């Protein structure tokens, strides 16, 4: 059963913008405690980019602070990652993650490719 479906990846020029979406199954969205976006560049380890908890608090990696914004739309069961001022070093596969309270579940999206190049 697919729980998280990602979309919005693509090719953009440096300085451009892109918005990633992660749609969660309605059966689990109301039970999600933390959602986050991770990324993995070629030859590098996966890293946390941004996270949002049920209360609305957010956390960002230093490399994306001031450029990326994580948000959610409860009516659409969807979490977004709005990316501005994109840099070549932002190029990676981006993965959505959802964790339930008390680690009741831990789901991953299929990954979406973001390529920043001129």
pLDDT in tens, 36-94: 999 999 999 999 999 999 889 999 999 999 999 999 998 899 999 999 999 999 999 99
Nearest Cα to Cα of residue 49 among 62, 38, 57, 41: 38
- Classified as helix, coil or strand, 82 is strand
27: DSSP letter: H
Which tokens in the block code for residue 59?
């956390």
Q: Is the pLDDT score of 1 beyond 80?
A: no
> Other C-beta atoms within 10 Å of 95: how many?
21
- For residue 36, what are its two tokens? 């986050």
When pLDDT is averaged across residues 20-49 and rounded to a whole number, the result is 94
33: left (phi over 0), alpha (psi -120 to 50) or beta: alpha
Mean of all residue pLDDT scores within the chain: 95
């Amino acid at each position: 059963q697919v729980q998280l479906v990602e979309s919005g990846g693509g090719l953009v020029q440096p300085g451009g913008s892109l918005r990633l979406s992660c749609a969660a199954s309605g059966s689990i969205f109301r039970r999600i405690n933390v959602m986050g976006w991770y990324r993995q560049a070629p030859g590098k380890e996966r890293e946390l980019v941004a996270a949002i908890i049920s209360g609305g608090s957010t956390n960002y990696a230093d490399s994306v602070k001031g450029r990326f914004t994580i948000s959610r739309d409860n009516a659409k069961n969807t979490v977004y990652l709005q990316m501005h001022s994109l840099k070549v070093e932002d190029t990676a596969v981006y993965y959505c993650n959802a964790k339930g309270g008390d680690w009741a579940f831990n789901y991953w999206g299929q990954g979406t490719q973001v390529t920043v190049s001129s």
